[in-house]
Amino acid sequence: MLYLYFFLSVAILFVTDRLSPVFSSPHGWWLTPVILIGLMLGFIIIHLLILVISIAVVDLDKDSEKGNGYYRKLVNCSLPLLFKICRVKVHVTGEEIIPENERILLVSNHINDIDPAIFIEEFPGLELGFIAKKEIYTELRFVAKMMKKLYCIPIDRENNREAIKAIIKAVDYIKNDKASIGIFPEGYTSLDGELHDFRNGAFKIATKAKVPIVVCTIVGSDKCFANLIKRRTDVYVDVVKVLSSDEVSSMHTDAIGEIVHKAMEESLKNRKEEIKKNI
């Protein structure tokens, strides 16, 4: 969107110059870049205002799917813009192995609250909704409003009955072709950046919905907020492995968890070693 706004600003500047010459005026050398920057900032501000207003009007207490497509498109064009502004650069490998034209369960390690936004931004075609801690819906209601429109599902991690309800809802979203689902099987954000034990019950989403599991890892997102705007943050997303729906349906969730954990562990080790070499 940033490039689109740049070209629109240039186009407006040329039209303005035709009506009232700017380039050839005595002050054209400084007026031209000022107008160009002003136009770009104007487009960005309008975009962000539309985003904020659109989110603000969502009623968290009303169970409605009206307008979900609009919000998905709005997020798909807003996240790249926000990442550019915040100087977040995401490097993706392995995306070619992601199954096309079918719903999936995306699984990843979890090191920062921004992780879901990174996956949604990088894989817009998957139409991801994430299972997220219920605290977001009480502590960050503004964020929760957008999450609701993207088919994200709150989960009470300490209440097994409520956790089962979240899994059933996720299965329903997949089966009814509303969204693919993303999960972080560790259950919590890893504060030390290491991969911890899984809650394997989450893999029931794939076994019950009969969809492939796409195993990913993410490195570097834990620095996004610390580096915000001050310096560029490089985030590495690796698509590590895909378990087909046939494989998944014939396996117990504990066996799936073991395979996924091992694949993630190896990927994270290799990625971190590569980053150290390049420092």
CA dihedral 11→16→22→23, nearest 10 degrees, is 30
Residue keyed to tokens 């394997």: 200
Cα atoms found within 13 Å of the Cα of residue 33, Cβ hemisphere only: 2
CA dihedral 242→247→251→253, nearest 10 degrees, is 20
Q: Does pLDDT of 28 surpass 70?
A: no
DSSP per-residue string spanning 169-235: HHHHHHHTTS-EEEE-TTSS--SSS------GGGGHHHHHHT--EEEEEEESGGGHHHHTTTS-EEE
Q: Does pLDDT of 36 surpass 90?
A: no
pLDDT category of residue 279 using cuts at 50, 70 and 90: low
Q: Does pLDDT of 21 surpass 90?
A: no
pLDDT at residue number 27 = 65
Burial class (CB in 10 A: 0-12, 13-18, 19+), 48: middle
Distance of CA 153 to the CA centre of its chain: 14
Residue keyed to tokens 């136009």: 39
Q: Would strands 105-108 and 213-219 be described as parallel, antiparallel, or unpaired?
A: parallel
**pLDDT tens sequence across 130-161:** 998 888 888 888 999 999 999 999 888 778 78
Write out the residue limits of the CATH 3.40.1130 domain(s) in the chain: 63-278
Q: Extract the tokens encoding 73.
A: 């498109």
**pLDDT tens sequence across 219-267:** 999 999 888 878 899 999 999 999 999 999 889 999 999 999 999 999 9
**pLDDT tens sequence across 60-93:** 888 777 778 999 999 999 999 999 999 999 999 9
CATH no. for 63-278: 3.40.1130
